[in-house]
Chain A
Amino acid sequence: MKPFAYLRPATPEDAVGALAARPGARPLAGGTNLVDLMKLGVEAPGTLVDVSRLPLDAVEETDGGGLRIGATVRNSDLAAHPAVRARYPALSQALLAGASGQLRNTATTAGNLLQRTRCPYFQDVSKPCNKRAPGSGCSARGGVHRDAAVLGASEHCVATHPSDMAVALAALDAVVHLLGPGGARTVAVTDFHRLPGEHPERDTVAGPAELVTAVELPAPAAVRSAYRKARDRASYAFALASAAAALDVRDGTVREVRLAFGGLAHRPWRARTAEDALRGAPATEESFARAADAELAAARPLPGNGFPGNGFKVPLARNLAVDVLTHLAAGAPGAAR
């Protein structure tokens, strides 16, 4: 681990100032991912700007009937928040499906959004990885890639975004609040994470000195929402694939729907093709399957190279989408698995 400076600014503005003044500085909140990566030598910031004590830990009602979630609200607190449980169950379920109790007690909202891929090659500094060392090559394409992306990947990177929470936020039309040297701005969470393209080293559209200050949820498009996750192990495992959905059905017809996939791409994958196919369609398992298939037609699985490939993610994601939508349509109470 390389020596680094440690700053603890008193205000978000000071934090932004510190980030801007020190190139290569990184904000530190819960540290559950960043500190691990520093130990591995994947991240080597010259300065850590500790934002964990900034006054950004509130969950507040907004005028529009939504919620504004402070950047440093802990994952476990957010999952347990009564307003989240009542109005955004998919978010609560997604948070509880992630990591372990100990990690959720430490990890923050912004940190969860900004966590980095768990691609094994990204985490191993002795091997090529375009995300970690641009231009060095992608070891996953020709290597072990059962967990890799099937949607939106590039020849330079097939990594997936590991967050559960972000998938629910994508389905719930959340907006990310950023504060930077040039002032404050907002970005839809579905635009916040990038696809890898030619620059897999850039996970998000946030600038190096921009600080996530909050995530805002609009009033829910549909009261009913849920999250489904498939994983190797019953707890403390990243999603092989996951689906978050919100659904409003009237008289057997889909009035409004939001659907997002996790574990499939470099970012939470908002399934707009599926949504378009579903609006006005009968709320049946057949429609759901057809819509999911339409979305997943763009999938480009990797072959495995003698190892397990990742083609299973396509039927898995379809099944999860059908399952979560069918469940919501049936009016049964939402329950995380």
Chain B
Amino acid sequence: MSTRRPVLGTSVERLEGRDKVTGRARYAAEHTPPGTLWAQTVPATVARGRITSVDTSDALAVPGAVAVLTHEDAPRLHPGDDPVLQVLQGPGVPHRGWPVALAVAETFEAACEAAAAVRLSYAAEEHDCVLTADHPGLYAPEQANGGNPGTRVRGDFEAAWERAPVRVDGTWTVPPLHNHPMEPHASTARWEDGRLVVHDSNQGSSAVRRTLAGLFGLDEEQVTVVTEHVGGGFGSKGTPRPQVVLAAMAARRTGRPVKLALPRRQMAAVVGHRAPTVQRVRLGAGHDGVIRALEHEAVTHTSAVKEFVEQAAVPARVMYTSPHSRTVHRVVRLDVPTPSWMRAPGEAPGMYALESAMDELAGACGLDPVELRLRNDPGTEPDSGLPFSSRGLARCLREGARRFGWEGRDPRPGVRREGPLLLGTGVAASTYPVMTAPSSAEARAEDGGYRVLVNATDIGTGARTVLAQIAADALCAPLAAVRIEIGSSDLPRAPLAGGSSGTASWGWAVDKACRALRARIGEHGGTVPRAGLSARADTAGDLAGLEEFARHSFGAQFAEVQVDTRTGETRVRRLLGVFAAGRILNARTARSQLVGGMTMGLSMALLEGSTVDAAFGDFVESDLASYHVATCADVHGIEAHWVEEEDPRLNPMGSKGIGELGVVGTAAAVGNAFHHATGVRLRDLPLHPDKVLTALGG
């Protein structure tokens, strides 16, 4: 046992990989208990108003139709903490696409036909859906997402700005973005003797269970939520979504299992989105590039249903030296679908603006943008004054510059031509907070092996695999001796796969339970009694005892782009990221996470964005033909690397989350490369050909 090699840090293949590629792995919509009915929602067709009449006779006349639920007759829900889930509870329509009825039928086709046949009349009210930087309804929220203060002020920004010899003042805009995981949100619900059992696609079924229990007036023990496999979430499945509530309501009404999978085109209105932002950044610096005054003001929208504030100004509180700083959020309630988490909420749009401004500051100071960032690398977290548990930004910048071939770069913009193409390179930094939430887990020694139970959720990241690795090392056992069970709310309670916190949170509990089990086996003289042994662990106390540090992951991304002066088409030729994220626990799945994030960032830079239709109040681009995400043909020469980082102040594994880090900063690196190529600053994503061609003068 003493010669055993740790499996943490090695490139273990996904445990369920074979099941997924052979189709054996079943997702929420692929569970069809006997007697299952299919459901389809009816989305509201006004942007604001009230339902004045409901006629379900045509819908119920559809052959195979079983029931139509509307606000007039749907089961009443108990109040909950998420108003987005209070569907079919009243005649009010807060935004277009809000579910206003649910058709239930013997087949999927009949459900679709019945849904289309539901007749609703509305009293439409005037609506307002368009975000502008000077919207009269803008207000300063108490908090932005993640519990961050809406406003933070240090020193005297205005005075320092006035005195700064070098100044950058720009406004950057990011359109609404959509998570669009491959697997649409889906639920199959059934009631068994007063118990509710659902197969649901989400990022954390302990929370879904708690929510469903609350809404339906049940004890948590009366609800089981199974989430065995999830085809991506990117934040949109971080909270329970209406489909699981609707499926459970319909199952209760009909007394039969009910399956509801959201059509792709309904997702934009129902599962959250990244709210658009208009961000003004002002940087005042000395000639040496050292920042003296920093202001980041993020304007965004939320819905009439609830307040969600994209915390885009938050990374400016972490990144750079800034003795005088003002970071502010302002938000307006519009008649739009409710925004929510999308991969790196706050950091992704916020770092686009901040890192673009940093590039402009480098130009204004005549400094290399890598050097400028090194000069502003702070010793303590600027906003809190706390020491960093570790901060690898400088090493990432240097290592990235070396790998990318940054040295000797000609800083002049617009001078590299290859026929009709203009070429350029750019850099930007990445960051993401290290978060950990309390989790429980259980480890059992039985039948000559080990079972490890934790209600973790593998949303495609490789969580199942890395938890088995953690368990094997903690047990000093071979990986093959460990059976890991995740994805059911009947397992020990665990937090969601969100905020890049999953591995740290679940892994800590798994590690603790496994070590406790080893100790128990030791108490039994090193042998497991026939009845088996088990140990449970909960990390709430461990987390409460953590020392106060600023904990963040960092990275640096380098991009090379080509811009076609004839068509305005911008393409990324190379994208290279170097990250500092503590100990990397599985190189294979870590690389795919980071490359996936960078690809999403590239997509944000060049392709993604939807338009709020002012007349109708919905997102115009609602399918994958019109909402463009990067294809393989858009991605060339993408590389993710990392630097060694030993940080004993994190968790027993020494890891930082990597799910979101990769998407942060990419868009700025691409935008900065675009400027280097063309000499033009485009501060409005995405860099679509129409904007580029117009900016280049046709």
Given known contacts A1-B109, A312-B689, is B567 in contact with A307 (CB within 8 Å)? no
Chain B positions within 8 Å of A143 at CB level: 613-616, 620
Chain A positions within 8 Å of B628 at CB level: 232-233, 237
Cβ of A320 within 8 Å of any chain B Cβ, yes or no, is: yes
Chain A positions within 8 Å of B130 at CB level: 306
Chain B interface size, as a band, is: 35 or more
Q: Quick one: which of A233, A305, A315 has the most chain B CB within 10 A?
A: A233
B595-628 contact mask (Cβ, 8 Å, vs A): 1 or 0: 0000000000011000101111000110001101
Chain A positions within 8 Å of B611 at CB level: 144, 307
Chain B positions within 8 Å of A127 at CB level: 616
**CB nearest neighbor in A for B623:** A123
A235:B633 contact, CB within 8 angstroms? yes
CB distance from A278 to the nearest CB of B (A): 19
Cβ of B694 within 8 Å of any chain A Cβ, yes or no, is: yes
Cβ of B1 within 8 Å of any chain A Cβ, yes or no, is: no
B613:A144 contact, CB within 8 angstroms? yes
Q: Quick one: which of A1, A120, A146, A306 has the most chain B CB within 10 A?
A: A120
A233 to B614, CA, bound (A): 25
Chain B positions within 8 Å of A235 at CB level: 631-634
A233 to B691, CA, bound (A): 14
A39 to B634, CA, bound (A): 29
Contact of A316 among B620, B626, B632, B689 (CB under 8 A): B689
Chain B positions within 8 Å of A139 at CB level: 615-616
A120:B626 contact, CB within 8 angstroms? yes
**CB nearest neighbor in A for B108:** A1
Cβ of A230 within 8 Å of any chain B Cβ, yes or no, is: yes
A320:B566 contact, CB within 8 angstroms? yes
A240:B566 contact, CB within 8 angstroms? no
Cβ of A331 within 8 Å of any chain B Cβ, yes or no, is: no
Q: Quick one: which of B130, B606, B607, B698 has the most chain A CB within 10 A?
A: B698
Chain A positions within 8 Å of B204 at CB level: none
Enumerate A222-269 residues with CB–CB distance to B below 8 Å. Answer: 230-237, 240
Cβ of B653 within 8 Å of any chain A Cβ, yes or no, is: no
Given known contacts A120-B620, A232-B628, is B45 in contact with A126 (CB within 8 Å)? yes
Chain A positions within 8 Å of B625 at CB level: 118, 236
**CB nearest neighbor in B for A2:** B113
Chain A positions within 8 Å of B43 at CB level: 126
Q: Quick one: which of A39, A315, A323 has the most chain B CB within 10 A?
A: A315
The number of residues on chain A lying at the interface, defined by a beta carbon within 8 Å of a beta carbon of chain B, is: 37
Cβ of A9 within 8 Å of any chain B Cβ, yes or no, is: no
**CB nearest neighbor in A for B603:** A233
A144:B620 contact, CB within 8 angstroms? yes
A232:B688 contact, CB within 8 angstroms? yes
Q: Quick one: which of B567, B615, B632, B686 has the most chain A CB within 10 A?
A: B567
A18-40 contact mask (Cβ, 8 Å, vs B): 1 or 0: 00000000000000000000011
Chain B positions within 8 Å of A316 at CB level: 567-568, 689-690, 693
A120-144 contact mask (Cβ, 8 Å, vs B): 1 or 0: 1000001100000000000100111
Chain B positions within 8 Å of A319 at CB level: 566-567, 693, 698
Chain A positions within 8 Å of B613 at CB level: 143-144
A230 to B571, CA, bound (A): 12
Chain A positions within 8 Å of B689 at CB level: 230-232, 240, 312, 316
A323:B631 contact, CB within 8 angstroms? no
**CB nearest neighbor in A for B112:** A1
A231:B569 contact, CB within 8 angstroms? yes
Given known contacts A41-B116, A319-B567, is B631 in contact with A236 (CB within 8 Å)? yes
A102 to B620, CA, bound (A): 25
CB distance from B106 to the nearest CB of A (A): 13
A139 to B632, CA, bound (A): 34
Chain B positions within 8 Å of A308 at CB level: 688, 690-691
B633:A315 contact, CB within 8 angstroms? no
CB distance from B553 to the nearest CB of A (A): 30
A203-237 contact mask (Cβ, 8 Å, vs B): 1 or 0: 00000000000000000000000000011111111
**CB nearest neighbor in A for B631:** A235
**CB nearest neighbor in A for B614:** A306
Cβ of B630 within 8 Å of any chain A Cβ, yes or no, is: yes
Q: Quick one: which of B116, B631, B690 has the most chain A CB within 10 A?
A: B690
A233:B631 contact, CB within 8 angstroms? yes
**CB nearest neighbor in B for A123:** B623
A315:B693 contact, CB within 8 angstroms? yes
A312 to B630, CA, bound (A): 23
Chain B positions within 8 Å of A146 at CB level: 690
A50 to B403, CA, bound (A): 57
Chain A positions within 8 Å of B109 at CB level: 1, 3
B567:A230 contact, CB within 8 angstroms? yes
A40 to B613, CA, bound (A): 19
B694:A312 contact, CB within 8 angstroms? yes
A127 to B112, CA, bound (A): 18
A306-324 contact mask (Cβ, 8 Å, vs B): 1 or 0: 1110101001100110110
CB distance from A175 to the nearest CB of B (A): 30
A312:B112 contact, CB within 8 angstroms? no
A312:B693 contact, CB within 8 angstroms? yes
**CB nearest neighbor in A for B97:** A126
A17 to B265, CA, bound (A): 37
Chain B positions within 8 Å of A231 at CB level: 569, 689
Chain B positions within 8 Å of A40 at CB level: 265
B501-522 contact mask (Cβ, 8 Å, vs A): 1 or 0: 0000000000000000000000
Enumerate B641-698 residues with CB–CB distance to A below 8 Å. Answer: 686, 688-691, 693-694, 698
Chain B positions within 8 Å of A315 at CB level: 693, 698
A154 to B151, CA, bound (A): 51
**CB nearest neighbor in A for B692:** A312
CB distance from B107 to the nearest CB of A (A): 10
Chain A positions within 8 Å of B571 at CB level: 234
CB distance from B142 to the nearest CB of A (A): 31
Contact of A312 among B568, B569, B615, B616 (CB under 8 A): B568
**CB nearest neighbor in A for B132:** A306
A233:B621 contact, CB within 8 angstroms? no
A231 to B688, CA, bound (A): 9
Chain B positions within 8 Å of A310 at CB level: 690
A233:B634 contact, CB within 8 angstroms? yes
Chain A positions within 8 Å of B621 at CB level: 120
Chain A positions within 8 Å of B686 at CB level: 232
B39-79 contact mask (Cβ, 8 Å, vs A): 1 or 0: 00001010000000000000000010000000000000000
CB distance from A29 to the nearest CB of B (A): 19
A3 to B110, CA, bound (A): 9
CB distance from B37 to the nearest CB of A (A): 17
Chain A positions within 8 Å of B265 at CB level: 40
**CB nearest neighbor in A for B117:** A2
A236 to B693, CA, bound (A): 21
B620:A320 contact, CB within 8 angstroms? no
Chain A positions within 8 Å of B691 at CB level: 308
Enumerate A139-171 residues with CB–CB distance to B below 8 Å. Answer: 139, 142-144, 146
A118 to B627, CA, bound (A): 12
Q: Quick one: which of B112, B113, B625, B694 has the most chain A CB within 10 A?
A: B625
B634:A142 contact, CB within 8 angstroms? no
**CB nearest neighbor in A for B565:** A319
CB distance from B546 to the nearest CB of A (A): 44
With A143-B620, A323-B566 given, name 7 new contacts (CB 8 A).
A118-B626, A127-B616, A231-B569, A235-B634, A240-B690, A312-B568, A320-B567
Spell out B's residues near A (CB within 8 Å): 43, 45, 63, 109, 112-113, 116, 130, 265, 420, 566-569, 571, 606-607, 611, 613-616, 620-621, 625-626, 628, 630-634, 686, 688-691, 693-694, 698
What are some 30 contacts across the A-B interface (CB < 8 A)?
A1-B109, A2-B113, A3-B113, A39-B112, A118-B626, A126-B43, A126-B45, A139-B616, A143-B613, A143-B615, A230-B568, A230-B569, A233-B606, A233-B630, A233-B631, A234-B571, A234-B634, A235-B632, A236-B631, A236-B633, A305-B614, A306-B130, A310-B690, A312-B690, A316-B567, A316-B689, A316-B690, A319-B567, A322-B566, A323-B566
Closest 4 CB pairs of A and B: A315-B698, A235-B633, A230-B567, A234-B633
